[in-house]
Amino acid sequence: MRVFLALLVVSVLGAPLVSGQGKRKSALDKATLEAYLRRVELYRQAVTYKIDDPKPSKVLPGFSEVAVHLSFDGGSRDELYYISNDGQTIVNGDVYNINQSPFQTNLNKLDTKDAATFGPADAPVTIVEFGDLECPDCRMEAPLIRHNVPETFPGKVRVYFKDFPLESLHPWARAAAIDGRCIYHQDAETFWKFYDWIYETQDQIEPDNLNMKVAAWAGQNGLDAAKLGQCMETKATEAEVQRSIDEGHALDVHGTPTLFINGRKIGGLAWPDLQLVVNHELTSEAAQ
């Protein structure tokens, strides 16, 4: 959770909640909280609220955490509010602990176990990419991740790849993610050859020829074609892909590529900007 326990709170939505007649209200009452937030937001369209039960905050003493889920035509959004235990104050913003990374909330949610990776395990900078193998922007970002980063920062960056296929936009992205995980389980290092190849040949792939092309490529790269074919045919790794998608949603990922650089969430970057962020993290880490 982003917690500044020397205590910095970005915005306080409510002073004590008091009605015009002087009656004290409580933001811990869901109907009261919803009415108050609707007044704050001034939506132009119909919005449905779902408010979770309050949970004692582990990061802000004297407050409870309340997750608010909004749904509307064309999308949804999740918000987290901190509400004082007397129900009188609502806090919406980032809270930081000076002894932790300012991006600790994201770091706590990122699960890199069994993710495709390259780079030294003790690297001071970690980049986690949520990517879509059919995404043109990911294709442009890939050479920066695969070549510019390790060549410019040798031994200083470790990279992880997480699947986040955008199925509404890219018809073969999910199947490619499943295939990629099948390749990863057969040979983790060969996954990165697959990553490079599928972006290079992206324009030649269609939903109906994907598996055929992947199988042909695999046969040329020393993989067990029969084993891989069975894995792809049965979609044996689909649950892994879905877990990666769910993790992305929990991290508020909406598009690809999305990078987490030492936990800092950022979209795809041109090389000068990516280089700037990595250098900034190296400097920040060295100063700690």
Dihedral (CA of 39, 45, 46, 47) sign: negative
pLDDT score for 288: 63
Q: What is the gyration radius of the CA atoms in the chain, in angstroms?
A: 23
The mean predicted confidence, pLDDT, of the chain is: 90
Work out the average pLDDT over 259-276.
Answer: 96
pTM of the model: 0.80
Q: Closest Cα to residue 217, out of 196, 188, 238? A: 196
Q: What is the mean pLDDT of residues 259-278?
A: 96
User: Among 5-9, 33-37, 214-218, 250-254, where is mean pLDDT lowest?
Assistant: 5-9
Which pLDDT band holds residue 94 (cuts at 50, 70, 90)?
A: confident
List of domains in the chain? 1-100 (no CATH), 105-287 (3.40.30.10)
Tens-place pLDDT, residues 29-51: 999 999 999 988 878 789 999 99
Region of poorest pLDDT, from 5-14, 42-51, 250-259: 5-14
Q: What is the pLDDT of residue 207?
A: 95
Q: Which residue has the higher pLDDT, 12 or 95?
A: 95
Among the listed residues 139, 130, 137, the one whose alpha carbon sits nearest the alpha carbon of residue 253: 130
Higher pLDDT, 11 or 177: 177
pLDDT score recorded for residue 235:
96
**Is the per-residue pLDDT at 14 higher than 80?**
no
pLDDT at 19: 53
Q: Which residues, 6 or more positions from 243, have their beta carbon under 8 angstroms from its beta carbon?
A: none
> Is the pLDDT confidence value at 278 over 70?
yes
Cα dist from 285 to 41, 61, 265, whole Å: 38, 28, 17
The residues, any chain, with a CB within 8 Å of residue 111's CB and separated by 6 or more, are 247
Confidence label for 217 from pLDDT (cuts 50, 70 and 90): very high
